[in-house]
Structure 1
Amino acid sequence: MSIIGNVIQPTMRYIKGDMNAEDQKVVDRVSKVFCETVLALVKSEGLKSPQVPLIEANQFVGAVDLASYKVAFTEGYGNEAFTYADIQKYGITPLSSAITNISRDIGDVIYAFEFKKGLTDIEAAKVAKEAAKSYIERVKSDLKSHSKPAVESISLPEIAEGVKRFRTDYPEGKKTAFIIMKFGAPQAYSESAQVVKDVLSAHGIAAMRADDKQYMDDLFLNIKTYMHSCDFAVAIWDRIETDEFNPNVSLEVGYMMALGKDVLLLKDQTLKALPTDIIGRLYKPFDTRSPGTTAPEHIIKWLRDKNYI
């Protein structure tokens, strides 16, 4: 039985966490409405199970803070499990922050929503149903955006095999983003990339760097595979090691723009300007010393502005 099936009709559950029984009942009751609505919409919209990532979730997370309950379904590590966490000692935790923590500790979040404390059963059920509708609409949008997955294989035979492998990992219906940045040893590089991955993962988008997986043996062909296969890109300019701009970052940004794909430009707030060939483009500043607190808000707003979420 899948996690959502176990939410609807509890059977044998592996449960962990420190949430009290009453709060757990509230989370279970609302989550059941959410899951029932998702399955009903899958049927009414004529969707197939493989097209709906939520059906593949193997981890359920419920959390309670001082103001609200949070529910998340993840593609976690290990066997199926239910985690119920009491995080009230931390005050009020934004959903985006909770998602980042869940992605780090349990697994990639497929979908998450929250509802306020003190709602009546009818009010809470309404929130759950709206969350389910929002999720299914996103699934349908993802499917439309991947309606022509093999065009690159035909027009660019040199990366045909790479695109094929990429589509095996990220099939039709899975939205993807290419992280453009220079590579180096400092931990700040991986921290910035991980923040981008966590924020996008929380909204059902897989983000990746060119060194995450080798789809082609040739370096540039491998990068081209990512650029042609991903839906959009997130470019990161920083001055962690030097004030000089990395020409490869500008090249890849220009290539993505030439393909007509959206590119989110994230700039180290200490940099005075972007490269001359990018001047005039809107960018979002962030602190490379604290990307987890300065970048997520900009990323989420951009995703909404571009209708990716």
Structure 2
Amino acid sequence: MPEANPIAQTKAQQPVLFLPHGGGPCFFMDWPDTWDNMAAYLRSVSHTLPQKPDAILVVSGHWETDMPTVTSGSHPSLLYDYYGFPAHTYQLRYPAVGAPHIATKVTQLLQQAGIPAKEDAQRGFDHGVFIPLMLAFENADIPVVELSLQQDLDPALHLRIGAALASLREQNILIIGTGMTYHNLRHFMTADPRSDAASRQFDAWLANAISLPAPQRNDALTHWQDAPAARICHPREEHLLPLMVVAGAAGTDTGVRTYTDTVMGKALSAFSFGV
């Protein structure tokens, strides 16, 4: 019997992704056309990967803690952390299992990089996790762990956190950040030419920043507040910071915009690194 070829058995490194997660459970409501393009993009994500991941690590804009914290339960619940939506959206299910051993690995990598970290066996998945994954990985057959953002919202720290976790990609673990490139809820639902134009300005800046070589890219992201219309688009930056983690985990890989759309007048994008 011929020997197995170890090169052929080696899995390719996973890319890292920043995905828009929409507004609440928007993809599962009767909301004609508004979110269709984003839903179609999310459904296409798994087909862009080199192979099926062994696990997924998600950083959502909906969980903040005083130190990096990782879900470590075997069967995390779902947190329906949205309000005022139809009753059926509180019955949505995404039965992906957790991955305690991956949670421990994440915690150890962060600690080895000098970043205090801990596990939380009780925390469930917020809608920044399960809503986009219901489209991107609808079979719920890949273990998932979630990593929190830091309450200080320091972009440089979140880039460091991502860099500390970059080696997971070589272990066939897919790192995803979910948020929105525009997240001013006061203006999102309002037809306002000024905020619409601001979203286009910031989105164009962000797409250019992501395409830069890694040192310049990370410097631009660290100083994102200096970008055109930055604070109009993000009065508070928790929905942008998952992108910082993803960019840190990208290492020297090039970033590309993989989705762009206008939703309710606001420009929105998704990005991938290492595809």
Normalized against structure 2, the TM-score is what? 0.27
Normalized against structure 1, the TM-score is what? 0.25
Q: Which has the larger radius of gyration?
A: 1
Of Structure 1 and Structure 2, the greater helix share is in 1
